[in-house]
């Protein structure tokens, strides 16, 4: 949860290090992290292994915090399950006293995602104003576009458009957050925004919590800067081949 702000364990640092090696060839334009210590340390470890982005500023955002679990924070998961059972409910829909409801978590995710979309649109406008739209596709290294999980998805899922346009992105954003929060964010993508999912993704995978440092990759298209209708494709979900 949010109330217990512990650092990463030795295992956590090893997992973050593995994720950093896994993502070392991906050039990010922005990095955002939860402001909780374990996420901060994960983000810093990942950037420390990156070939392009070691000096990139990590921006911390409270909207990326883990779900707040109220009176259950700092206690074993079995206690949370017992509280839910006593209330005649099941995890994860149960909300302990003082905790956040799933709707409240999803609202945080929606607010942060809309912020990212506005950021991307502003970047595109700025790029066009400075260089002109025609020059955007020049001067980018192919190495920057190498995503390490391409062998886990189809090429169609990675294509950037029906017109064969350049795969160079206006923004390539790394977000470091938490398991229960990200599961709610994924639910928002699927139920509210009709996210396109990998064909081999099962229902149980969709509802499961990511393993520590699991990587999920989404391609977001905003046609003509339309913030109201983002087109979202999930390339991979909770990828953990680096662990």
Average of pLDDT values for 10-22?
Answer: 98
Q: Tell whether 38 is in a known binding site.
A: yes
For residue 5, is it within any domain?
no
Reply yes or no on whether the pLDDT at 152 is more than 70: no
pLDDT at position 127: 72
In a domain, 232, yes or no: yes
Residues of the chain above pLDDT 70, percent: 85
**Is there a domain that residue 92 lies in?**
no
- The chain-wide mean pLDDT, for the chain, equals 87
Count of domains forming the chain = 1
In a domain, 75, yes or no: no
For residues 2 and 68, the answer to whether their CB atoms sit within 8 Å is yes
Half-sphere exposure of 83 (CA within 13 A, CB side): 20
Determine contact, residues 189/114, Cβ cutoff 8 Å: no
Query: Residue 212 maps to which CATH number?
Result: 3.40.50.1240
Residue 26 pLDDT exceeds 90: yes
57-107 pLDDT tens trace? 999 999 999 999 999 999 999 999 999 999 999 988 999 999 999 999 999
In a domain, 60, yes or no: yes
User: Within a domain: residue 35?
Assistant: yes
Judge whether 60 is annotated as a binding position. no
145-154, 186-195, 205-214, 215-224: the lowest-pLDDT one: 145-154
Residue 121 lies in a domain: yes
**What does the pLDDT read at residue 168?**
59
118 is an annotated ligand-binding site residue: no
Q: Confirm or deny that 66 is annotated as ligand binding.
A: yes
pTM to 2 decimals?
0.87
Instruction: Quote the pLDDT of residue 39.
Output: 98
The answer to the question of whether 67 is labelled as a binding residue is yes
208, 183 in Cβ contact below 8 A? yes
- Residue 94 within any structural domain of the chain: no
* End-to-end Cα spacing for the chain: 23
**Domain of 52, in residue numbers:** 10-66+101-125+170-239
């Amino acid at each position: 949860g949010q109330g217990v702000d512990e650092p990463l364990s030795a295992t956590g640092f090893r997992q973050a290090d593995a994720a950093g090696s896994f993502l070392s060839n991906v050039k990010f334009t922005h990095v955002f992290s939860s402001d909780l210590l374990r996420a901060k340390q994960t983000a810093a470890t990942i950037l420390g292994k990156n070939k392009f982005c070691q000096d990139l500023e990590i921006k911390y955002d409270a909207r990326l915090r883990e779900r707040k679990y109220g009176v259950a924070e700092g206690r074993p998961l079995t206690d949370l399950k017992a509280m839910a059972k006593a209330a005649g409910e099941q995890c994860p829909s149960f909300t302990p006293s003082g905790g956040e409801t799933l709707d409240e978590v999803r609202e945080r995710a929606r607010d942060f995602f809309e912020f990212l979309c506005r950021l991307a649109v502003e970047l595109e406008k700025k790029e066009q104003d400075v260089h002109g739209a025609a020059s955007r596709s020049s001067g980018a290294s192919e190495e920057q576009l190498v995503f390490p999980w391409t062998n886990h998805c189809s090429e169609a899922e990675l294509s950037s458009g029906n017109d064969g346009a350049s795969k160079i992105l206006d923004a390539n954003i790394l977000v470091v957050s938490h398991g229960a929060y990200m599961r709610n964010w994924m639910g928002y993508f699927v139920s509210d925004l009709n996210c396109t999912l990998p064909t081999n993704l099962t229902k149980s995978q969709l509802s499961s919590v990511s393993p520590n440092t699991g990587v999920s990759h989404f391609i977001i298209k905003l046609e003509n800067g339309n913030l109201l209708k983002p087109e979202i494709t999930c390339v991979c979900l909770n990828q953990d081949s680096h662990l």
